[in-house]
Amino acid sequence: MTSTAELLARRNLTIGPYSPLFYDEPLQFTSASGVWFTEASGERYLDGYNNVPHVGHANPRVVHAIAEQAATLNIHTRYLNERVVAYAERLLDTFEPRLDRVLFGNSGSEANELAIRIARQLTGHTGMIVSDYSYHGTTITLAGLTTGLQTAVPLDPNVRTLRIPDLDRDQRPEAAVLADALAELDAAIASLQETGFGVAACLFDPLFSTEGMPRVPAGLTAGIAERVRAAGGLVIADEVQSGFGRTGSEMWGHRYAGLDPDLVTMGKPMGNGHPISGVVTSETVLDAFGSTNEFFNTFAGNPVSAAAGEAVLLEMAEHGLQDRALALGRTARARFDEFAAAHDFVRAAKGTGMFLGLDFAVDGEPAPGLAKRVVEEMKARHVLISRIGRDESVLKVRPPLAFGEAELPILLDALESSLDAVRR
Amino acid sequence: MTSTAELLARRNLTIGPYSPLFYDEPLQFTSASGVWFTEASGERYLDGYNNVPHVGHANPRVVHAIAEQAATLNIHTRYLNERVVAYAERLLDTFEPRLDRVLFGNSGSEANELAIRIARQLTGHTGMIVSDYSYHGTTITLAGLTTGLQTAVPLDPNVRTLRIPDLDRDQRPEAAVLADALAELDAAIASLQETGFGVAACLFDPLFSTEGMPRVPAGLTAGIAERVRAAGGLVIADEVQSGFGRTGSEMWGHRYAGLDPDLVTMGKPMGNGHPISGVVTSETVLDAFGSTNEFFNTFAGNPVSAAAGEAVLLEMAEHGLQDRALALGRTARARFDEFAAAHDFVRAAKGTGMFLGLDFAVDGEPAPGLAKRVVEEMKARHVLISRIGRDESVLKVRPPLAFGEAELPILLDALESSLDAVRR
């Protein structure tokens, strides 16, 4: 294997020095299988972070499906193909009956772009409401509503942001916290209407992952949806992180969050790493958009991507991965709660299913330095996790859904030991 | 195989009735190999249209590369990976030395979005200049500058369009045609400047494929670039159709067209159907963008996509596909010229390399109906081609670059016979 220093130098001269890397000393893997990475040295790392390899790195069923279909036929949707239709049927079967149409894409960015494009056309408005620390993709429109990542552009004038409250940080009564958040939303809607943009849509991750998994007041997401609809806007759920059984209790994050969206976008885990994304919506919405736009995406809905997506759903079903996420997630969350109780620098345990976190704070102030040290301590113990949230003070534990009973104690024990290490 | 009627019904209930299909009676293939499709009946069709399966449908080297890498490791660029760097090096080796950096994406739309985003940031302007019959992708920004496809949105206010002249249609002296086109460009630039948008970039396919492959005056593309740069804008070459040796004489269409771009975007043939795209630019441009934006695209630059891209370049080199396109393209173009001479409804033969056309006209007026009949006659002879251009009067012959000496006479003879058939 090329040395890290040499590879970094070559990388800087091709894709450039700005392409982000994890960790103070970047990692270079030669292979991965299930939930384990392997370095050239033979050293293994447990993957407690990546949600893209949903049914496990190098999943044999997915690899076989891709290889077999690629060796048979890979073509766009301008010819009829049963595989993409069969996959669409299988995917839509996981949704409530109202959400019965799907448009495919190649990335989460493409899915969110399309959802917003549809919402703007159907409503005749352009205004967007997002959270004040969120990320939905890389395009111009999405960069214009990005609040959770450095970009050189200011927010677009037709974007309003909403602070997502966290009951673990805001000690006031839940009703008061909710009322404040909805009042802020009312002001955002009024501002969009006064400036003539109107409300096209709100766009939220139902789990508020980038935001740091705040514990939101009951009724917040439903209240947002109700007000946005009353203003003539649509509700978009960005399930790039929360979908495909991540929460354990539900296949789709919007159901976990009590949200009833008009459009659901999905990406990362959909093809286990094969580039595929989707927008799921209703016949009514698709009719209004499709009948007035020639819409065609060359790679989208090709049978190889469909084969990858289908294999993910089959693998999830055969191994009961959603149920496993529920069971293991409960075990893990109980231990995270113990960690929170045991360490005064852990403000709260966060999350649900196989998406968990620990919010670090010292004297009531976010402690990103501690969180970073824990991430590096975990890496030293060969367990990979990361950080999220406005202050980057929340540990992000979001392993492949294939994470099993055998691996969970390894992660939890490494975390206990890492927490002890930074306390010293 | 499911019947066409049944599959259409299921398709309409999942991805919807608006997803476009080729031909009056859509085709449904069960497999494809090299440049041949196979139907369930065993009937074969010669692919004279698809540029995505660049090195041949189900190319064994590409399939093997994808399968092997997917079975080994498929991960994003936040970990170091040699394969993506090695592919970037190989790809950049095909460019002039000034263009020495690449950012990967998953679709041509993502590549064009990123190029425009970079151009807008670097120039501080937002104005775009495109041709008046062009297509560059599906996103909101790209839909706002789409002139060659029906969309429900008007052109964005910061977009100006340029009619691309065709010396096969405009009989005036070449110098006069050129002067008129550049005068139109000057007016577009002036309008963008007067309205305060300024000129961020021009965005053109160097072959003007969607426009119908006009025979442009010498100096047109260089003249456009010079004026756009003088106005402070950048030059983007959309090589989604013209790149990867399509012209035969050059690896990249911008070199064929005498254009010296700041940014080159690529997609369709790049991974032989695996979703991958790229923006190639200079170190200076990447530095200016990268140093001020956190830019990360989950699927982009994954090692499986890199493996597919690498296999395409290796296969092109091993089989000399660019040289073959040059040689076969000359043979084909000579025959196309004969067709043009033989039929008074063929105004001119068009194109270069393995991208050829015939422009149909009756009494000086475009004849899309005749072109459509020829496409269907070709289909009846089991050879697949399509139509392009504002009037859809130009046959589009753009087969996989793996198209060989054995297949060319089949296509040409079918075309001769189809032209005879519609003359009657």
The token pair at A133 is: 């620390």
Nearest to B73 among A17, A32, A60 (CB): A32
Do A207 and A329 belong together in one domain?
Answer: no
Are the beta carbons of A101 and B143 separated by less than 8 Å? no
Tokens (6 digits) for B392: 């859809």
Residue B65 lies in a domain: no
Categorize the per-residue pLDDT at A2 as very low, low, confident or very high, splitting at 50, 70 and 90.
Answer: confident
Interface test with B, best of A36, A106, A238 (most B CBs within 10 A): A106
Pick out chain B residues at pLDDT < 50: none
Q: Do B88 and B159 fall within a single domain?
A: yes
Does B24 reside within a domain? Answer: yes
A297 & A176 share domain: yes
Q: Chain A closest CA to B168's CA: distance in Å?
A: 29
Nearest CA in chain B to A124: B153
Measured between beta carbons, the chain A residues lying within 8 angstroms of B31 are 72-73
Backbone angles phi, psi at A361, to 5 degrees: -150, 145
Instruction: Say yes or no: A341 and A259 in one domain.
Output: no
How close A384 gets to chain B, by Cα (Å)?
11
Q: What integer pLDDT is reported at residue B64 of this predicted model?
A: 98
B19:A301 CB<8 A: yes
Nearest CB to A11 within list B8, B85, B304: B85
Supply the pLDDT for residue B124. Answer: 97
* pLDDT of residue A1 exceeding 80: no
Task: Decide if B140 and A153 are in contact by the 8 Å CB cutoff.
Answer: no
> In chain B, how many domains are there?
2
B213: phi then psi, degrees, rounded to nearest 5: 55, 55
Phi, psi of B17 (to 5 degrees): -80, -5
CB-nearest to B139 from A50, A108, A141 is A141
Residues B245 and B107 placed together within one structural domain of the fold: yes
**Residue in A92, A117, A290 closest to B18 by CB:** A290
Tell whether A119 and A215 lie within a shared domain: yes
Please tell me if residue A340 touches chain B, with a CB cutoff of 8 Å.
Answer: no
Q: Does A102 touch chain B (CB under 8 A)?
A: yes
B97 and B203 share a domain? yes
pLDDT tens across A11-25, in order? Answer: 999 999 998 999 888
Residue B189 domain-assigned (yes or no):
yes
A27 touches chain B (CB under 8 A): yes
Report yes or no: A382 at the B interface, CB cutoff 8 Å. no
Q: What is the pLDDT averaged over residues A324-351?
A: 98
Contact between chains at B14 and A88 (C-beta distance less than 8 A): yes
Looking at the fold, whether B51 and B164 belong to one and the same domain comes out as: no
For chain B, helix, strand, coil in percent to 5 are 40, 20, 40
Check residues B2 and A88 and name the one with the higher pLDDT.
Answer: A88
* B302 touching chain A per CB within 8 A: yes
A169: buried, middle or exposed (CB in 10 Å: 19+, 13-18, 0-12)?
middle
Per the CB < 8 Å rule, is B79 touching A143? no
Distance from CA of B218 to the nearest CA of A (A): 32
The mean pLDDT of chain A is 96
Interface test with A, best of B140, B149, B209, B286 (most A CBs within 10 A): B140
- CB atoms A78 and B274 under 8 Å: no
Residues B215 and B171 in one domain: yes
Nearest to B8 among A62, A80, A291 (CB): A80
Domain annotation covers residue B399: yes
Q: Which of residues 251-280 of B touch A (CB under 8 A)?
A: 267-268, 272-276
- The answer to whether residue A288 neighbours chain B at the CB level (below 8 Å) is no
- CB count within 10 Å of CB A120 equals 23
Residue B55: what pLDDT? 98
Give pLDDT, residue B307. 98
Instruction: Chain A: give the shortest CA distance to residue B138, in Å.
Output: 7
The answer to whether A159 contacts chain B (CB < 8 Å) is no
Longest dimension (CA), chain B: 64
Give the SS3 label for residue B264: strand
Which of B278, B295, B318 is the endpoint of a domain?
A: B318
pLDDT value of position A83: 96
Distance, CA of B117 to CA of B200 (rounded, Å): 9
Chain A partners within 8 Å of B85 (Cβ): 7, 10-11, 14-15
Q: Which of 112-131 (A) contact B at CB < 8 A?
A: 113-114, 116-117, 120-121
Contacts of B11 in chain A (CB under 8 A): 80, 85
- Summarize pLDDT for A266-315 with one digit per residue, the tens: 999 999 999 999 999 999 999 999 999 888 999 999 999 999 999 999 99
Task: Report yes or no: A45 and A23 within 8 Å, Cβ to Cβ.
Answer: no
Residue A119: pLDDT band with limits 50, 70, 90: very high
Give the contacts of B12 (CB within 8 A, at least 6 positions apart): none
Calculate how close chain A gets to B26, using CA atoms only, in Å.
6
B106 and B184 inside one domain:
yes
3-state helix, strand, coil split of chain A in percent (to 5) is: 40, 20, 40
Is B284 an 8 Å CB contact of chain A? no
Residue that terminates a domain, selected from B318, B337, B361? B318
Amino acid B294: pLDDT: 86
Residue B97's SS3 state is coil
Could you say which of A259, A289, A318 is where a domain stops?
A: A318
Q: d(Cα B168, Cα B172) in Å, to the nearest integer?
A: 10
Comparing alpha-carbon positions, the chain B residue that sits nearest to A290 is: B18
Q: Is A190 on the interface with B (CB under 8 A)?
A: no
Do A112 and A30 share a structural domain? Answer: no
A338 and A260 in a common domain: no
The answer to whether residue B154 neighbours chain A at the CB level (below 8 Å) is no
What are the tokens at A50?
Answer: 């990546």
Taking the CA of residue B292 and the nearest CA in chain A, the distance in Å comes to 6
The residue among B114, B260, B278 whose CA lies nearest residue A140 is B114
Q: Is B3 on the interface with A (CB under 8 A)?
A: no
Considering chain A, what percentage of its residues have pLDDT values greater than 90?
A: 95
pLDDT for the residue B153:
81
Query: pLDDT band at A151, cuts 50/70/90?
Result: confident
**Average pLDDT for A383-393:** 96
Compute the nearest-CA separation of A51 from chain B (Å): 11
In DSSP notation, A143-204 reads: HTT--SS--SSPPPTTEEEEPPP-TTT--S-HHHHHHHHHHHHHHHHHHHHHTT--EEEEEE
Are the CB atoms for B55 and B37 separated by under 8 Å? no
Q: Which residue of A has its CA nearest to B38?
A: A73
Hey, is the C-beta of B73 within 8 angstroms of any chain A C-beta? yes
Note down the domain range covering A398. Answer: 4-55+320-423
Q: Supply the CATH number for residue B149's domain.
A: 3.40.640.10
A16 and B297: CB-CB below 8 Å? no
Question: What pLDDT is stored for residue B320 in this prediction?
Answer: 98
- Picking from A226, A224, A223, A199, the residue whose alpha carbon sits closest to that of residue A119 is A199
Tell me which residue of A394, A414, A422 sits closest to A47, measured CA to CA: A414
> Does residue B216 lie within any of the structural domains?
yes
Task: Give pLDDT tens digits for A182-241.
Answer: 999 999 999 999 999 999 999 999 999 999 999 999 999 999 999 999 999 999 999 999
Of the candidates A300, A308, A104, A316, the residue with the CA atom closest to the CA atom of residue B304: A308
Q: Which residue of A has its CA nearest to B308?
A: A70
CATH code at position A357: 3.90.1150.10
Phi, psi of B28 (to 5 degrees): -135, 110
